[in-house]
Structure 1
Amino acid sequence: MSMKLSALAEKLGLEYTGADREISGVNTLEKAGPDDLSFLVNPKYLPQLEITKAGCVLTSGSYAEKVPCALVSANVYMDLARVVDVFARPQGCLTGIHELAFIHPDAQVDPSATVHPFAFVGAGAVIGAETVLFAGVYVGEETVIGSKCILYPNCVVMGGLTVGDRVILQPGAVLGGDGYGYAQTPLGHMKIPQIGTVSIEDDVEVGSNTAIDRAALDVTRVRRGTKIDNLVQVGHNVDIGENCLIIGQTGIGGSTVIGNGVVLAGQTGVPDNVKIGDGAMVAAQSGILSDVEPGSRMAGSPAINAKDYFRAVGVCTPKLPELFKRVKKLEKELAALLAAGGASDE
């Protein structure tokens, strides 16, 4: 698709400078062409601003005069998301309920929903208005899916779960598989039945191949606005607060409570039964061992205060080879002094 810059600016409520022109896509400063809109978010890319071939650049007012045509924004990153949404091509080529989908007679599927071939909707399940189920999606019995959700191919939402409105489940996400619970007995590991549920609130996104386990009892909960990346493990009875960012390959142990606005960077490890306070941020590959205070900045494994960690790693660690040499030299000098002292005593 393409549209006039003036129409795009009006749609987004933004001002533009320079001549009106046709915009057909979005690309980087380096790769954009005359029909593309590009963007400047980070000042380190200013050199590219001088050589870009983009027809228009989305940027803040302070940089708008540096290009012949600019779409002026007070929040470039946010408005970039809005621009891309305008030009994004929606996935899927079907509407309505395909004849090759299985819908249980006791299920309720809103007439405005789309269900692709080979999706399965179990007994008593409810699918809300304008929700899309792609091929291979499994929705278990008595599960409720809200309105305007997108469940991409091969998502699994087991029985008895609740999913709010505008939730996105990326391909292969699994909600409501059994939590990891076993009793150790003389006869081996006895499985503990997991009879709780999972609740996903409004505007949550769950990445590809992420697993959110069913609670042993009660509920595993992901609260409003939280975004979970690919390949994340959320254990049983975990409670994740609102507007959190959980980055890829993070593992969260059972019954952990995570506050609002928490950021867990990639490969963070969180054990069972800890509390992470509101607004805490944990650096990549960190290993949490105990409760984290609200607003904390943590790094390392085991995780400590981030400033202390980066001071130790960034300042002290590079000096270790030289320090080792100095210690070895001092050891030799000390040994020589001791030997000389022993000889003089004789």
Structure 2
Amino acid sequence: MDCRPSPTAAAGAEAPPPTTYRIGYALSPKKVESFIQPSLLNLAKQRHIHLLPIDLHKPLSHQGPFDCLLHKLSGPDWTQQLRHFSSLHPDVPIIDPPDAVLRLHDRLSMLQVVRDLHLPEPIDESDSSSSSSCSFGIPHQVLVPDPQHLREQGLPSPLEFPVIAKPLLADGTASSHQMSLVFNHQGLKQLEEEEEEAPFVLQEFVNHGGVVFKVYVVGDYVQCVKRRSLPDILMDDDKALGRLGASHHNLLTFSQISNLAAAAPPSSSSFKNNDEQQLQEEEEEEAAQMPPVSFLARLAKALRNALGLHLFNFDVIRDGRFGNRSTKEVLRLMVGIGPVGY
């Protein structure tokens, strides 16, 4: 006996309803205002995804059900809630696990990941020629446990001026974004007197043409965009340092590099204040070539595997000390890394 449905019955059968995914998200109010727009909610619904806000005033374990958790919060209480939720619902992915994110809250440990990184070989042989001209590294940096250390030791080796002072903790708070660009020993003395957040790190400043490449990683997806950055620094040009706004040409304090770059005069990178130079710099910024996509993809994959993260970003700059060597450009990439949203 043939039990197969007749063609007529099959044609009239209703298709099974599409699978619906419930994504719980926990973001700061500022991030919610920026990202959770009606257009995003509508687009998610079209793809059968329900974005559900997590109530931070209630225990996470009492909420749901969720197919996935997406968060950009930190702190001991929240971390404990995530761990408890994961123990109750081990099959629900958390993007990203708090223990993996914590590694990026320390400016020493985050760059150690890059130092120890080994890139996979190119899968496509046609990519090998462009990727072979690329190398990567991290800027030299030294931990300063307290300002007294600077008074006793001065500028730590192997650093040379200028240097950037950054809080060791990188947890997305306002204080973690407070930085200083130090031009000389007098600026270092000012830093000793003004620095309140200890410990902190001193990091070498690398001239990079005033352009930073921000690479965003979402799972296997990689997107690179250009952003303005700090201009190149000419240490023998006092007028240049003055136009940067440095206090007595010794120290420049700012909250975020992107904010400082946006506020700086467009002509600061060469320090020639005229319309022709400004136009030239804007053209140079526009013409700055992206690093090879294949190389960034391999770098992103290696970082993703090393960090155990699915959602993060890293910054890449061209090291101005490397340029045309023989017939091929040596692209020396200085890499900094951080979780998206912090």
Q: Give the TM-score, by structure 1 length.
A: 0.25
Q: Give the TM-score, by structure 2 length.
A: 0.25
**Bigger radius of gyration among the two:** 1
Relative contact order, CA 8 A, sep 6+: which one is greater? Answer: 2
